[in-house]
Amino acid sequence: MKKYILTLDEGTTSARAIIFDECGNVVSIAQNEFTQIYPRPSYVEHDPIEILSAQYSAITECIIKSGLKTSDISCVGITNQRETVVVWNRLTGEPVYNAIVWQCRRTAELCEELKSQGLEEYIINTTGLKIDAYFSGTKIKWILDNVEGAREAANRGELLFGTIDTWLMWKLSNGKIHSTDQTNASRTMLYDIHNLCWDKKLLEILDIPESMLPTVQKSGSVYGDIDIMGANLSVCGVAGDQQSALFGQRCVNVGDVKNTYGTGCFLLMNTGTTAVKSNNGLLTTIAATTENSPCEYALEGSVFIGGAVIQWLRDEMKLIENAAQSEELAIAVSDSAGVYIVPAFAGLGAPYWDMYARGTICGLTRGAGRNHIVRAALESIAYQTNDLITAMQNDAGVCVTSLKADGGASKNRFLMQFQADISNADVICPKNAEATALGAALLAGLTAGVIENTDSLNADATTFTPAMNDDIRQSSLDGWRSAVKSTISFSKE
Ligand code: ADP
């Protein structure tokens, strides 16, 4: 009986392979890091061939470690860093340029131009996205405009574009699959999320030939076979990392929310079949679904500096030796003694959107010490997350009573409890921390019929319930709002 699911979890810094059984348990994991290339300040690239080989050797190591044969594997799921662009020649299979990574800001000026052409409203209405260098569209244009011969080759129909899922499938199928899924497509700034097709007007504006673009499928659907160690394995699930985590956390009903507490935080709320347009600067994106269900949407917001504030305490302030120690110091004091840290190191995102804001520490008194500062740093992660939750509640008109958590900083019990307290919502941390990979595995497993129901998944979870009284919550939130206000007005001086 083939009952195992192989998942490719291709992230920003490493490629991992994970084998799950039909109950969603992890059987085996392997991981390889790859090089981050910084050719100029604010430019970020990856070598697509290195990603492929890092991914492939993680797959073989994972299979060998598991003791399974490829014939035990029923299907493959893929989840990937979103928005990152690869352009390659379909005749030679060679990339024409390095992958331009989502973090890369090289097209910021081009984005300003698009704004000055008055395209903001059109782009948000069509793609659900704000005009930003993050998204794939302007990166593809950059390659066509800057790599010698690229535009001519693209016009001859010789070049293909893909996000990393597409690139891996094309290579591993020997050029037979040129597809992506709706969640990845919805991050390109080229995809009409309402009519579910590439948008011809945007392709024209950015001068991108449609012949380069992959076919878009449902996240849970059959993409075709890839060759793994001489065996043909069927790819049955693909989703961008954040939507995959939303699915893996089983946030499949309207109002379900997950937050990934990593370097930054990514909060997504399932809004069902309604594409909710945000009044607070959040993004509207497609959620992962399987073949027979209708298209669903999510609201997405991100905290730029999440776990990174803890890295800052460790590396720059030298207040802690490691991230885990932050918990010990935070619980050594009963509160933050009125200290607030607003870690706007790279500006403030939703709902404030102030790119010029810079970090502040407010409310210092003579008695404020190291433990208070550490505690205030952890609290800032929860306050920023709470701002996003509030914005989503307002946009979607639903009340959030629980939140699923994952990512490195979700191991911090103080942070999880403070989040529950300040958001007045249960915070649920599943024992299986692999929510992102699990999402792709479930999409594949449900499509291939290896997984029939998902009821028992994530049953083993720790729930943090709110324990703060309303007055303290209100005064704490008031303090945070004043701190944010001071931060914004300071940067305006
Ligand atoms: P990413 O995928 O963004 O690299 P991870 O999910 O691996 O991030 O999480 C790493 C982040 O989590 C780091 O910023 C680190 O400071 C933070 N972190 C890890 N463990 C803890 C902890 N116990 N308490 C607080 N923050 C933590």
C-alpha 331 – ligand 1 centre gap (Å): 18
Per-residue confidence in pLDDT tens, the chain, 493 aa: 678 999 999 998 899 999 999 888 999 999 999 998 989 888 889 999 999 999 999 999 999 999 999 999 999 999 999 999 999 999 999 999 999 999 888 998 999 999 999 999 999 999 999 998 889 999 999 999 999 999 999 999 999 999 999 999 999 999 999 999 999 999 999 999 999 999 999 999 999 999 999 999 999 999 999 999 999 999 999 999 999 999 999 999 999 999 999 888 999 999 999 999 999 889 999 999 999 899 999 999 999 899 999 999 999 999 999 999 999 999 999 999 999 999 998 788 888 888 788 899 999 999 999 999 999 999 999 999 999 999 999 999 999 999 999 988 999 999 999 999 999 999 999 987 789 999 999 999 999 999 987 877 766 789 999 999 999 999 999 999 999 999 999 877 6
284 close to 182: Cβ distance less than 8 angstroms: no
Contact 420, 457 (CB under 8 A): no
User: Is the CB of 355 inside a 6 Å radius of any atom of ligand 1?
Assistant: no
Q: 407 C-alpha to center of ligand 1: Å?
A: 7
Q: Is residue 411 in contact with ligand 1, taking CB distance under 6 Å?
A: yes
Compute, in angstroms, the gap from residue 300 CA to the centroid of ligand 1: 20
| Ligand 1 within 6 A of CB of 310 | yes
Q: Give a yes or no: residue 339 inside a domain.
A: no
How far apart are alpha carbons 395 and 268 in whole angstroms? 13
- What's the count of helices (H) and strands (E) in the chain, helices before strands? 15, 23
**CA of 310, closest atom in ligand 1:** 16
146 CA → ligand 1 middle, Å? 37
Residue 299 has a pLDDT of 96
| Residue 226 counted as domain residue | yes
Q: Which domain, by its residues, includes 202?
A: 4-240
Q: Is 323 in the pocket of ligand 1 (CB under 6 A)?
A: yes
User: Does any ligand 1 atom lie closer than 6 A to the CB of residue 77?
Assistant: no
Q: What is the pLDDT of residue 309?
A: 94
- Kindly give the distance from the C-alpha atom of residue 487 to the centroid of ligand 1, in angstroms, as a whole number: 25
Looking at residue 12, its pLDDT comes to 87
**364 inside domain:** no
- Contact assessment for residue 50 and residue 33, using Cβ atoms and an 8 Å cutoff: no
For the Cβ of 409 lying below 6 angstroms from any atom of ligand 1, the answer is: yes
User: Does a structural domain hold residue 169?
Assistant: yes
Q: How far is it, in rounded angstroms, from Cα 60 to Cα 50?
A: 15
CATH number at 55 reads: 3.30.420.40
Of ligand 1's listed atoms, the one at least distance from the Cα of 311 is 16
The count of structural domains within the chain is: 1
* Ligand 1: centre distance to CA 344 (Å): 18
CA of 262 to the centre of ligand 1 (A): 5
Which atom of ligand 1 is nearest the CA belonging to 314? Answer: 16
Across 229-279, the runs of DSSP E, i.e. the strands, are 231-240, 257-261, 265-272
CA of 233 relative to ligand 1 center, distance in Å: 34
Q: Residue 80's pLDDT is what? A: 96
pLDDT of residue 1: 65
Does some domain include residue 452? no
Those residues with Cβ within 8 angstroms of residue 178's Cβ, 6 or more apart along the chain or in another chain: 160, 162, 166, 169, 170, 214, 215
Q: Is residue 440 a contact partner of residue 244, using CB atoms and an 8 Å limit?
A: yes
**Which residues are registered as beta bridge partners of 285?**
298
- Ligand 1 centroid–CA 412 distance in Å is 9
Q: Can you give the pLDDT at residue 458?
A: 63
Residue nearest to atom 7 of ligand 1 (CA): 408
Query: In whole angstroms, what is the distance from residue 437 CA to residue 420 CA?
Result: 25
Q: What one-character DSSP code corresponds to residue 294?
A: P
Nearest protein CA to atom 8 of ligand 1, as residue: 262
- Cβ of residue 343 lying under 6 Å from some atom of ligand 1: no
pLDDT of residue 353: 83
What pLDDT score was predicted for residue 346?
A: 79
Answer yes or no: is 60 within a domain.
yes
pTM for the full predicted model: 0.92
Give the span between the Cα atoms of 302 and 350, in whole angstroms.
7
In this predicted structure, what is the pLDDT of residue 393?
A: 94
Residue length, the chain?
Answer: 493
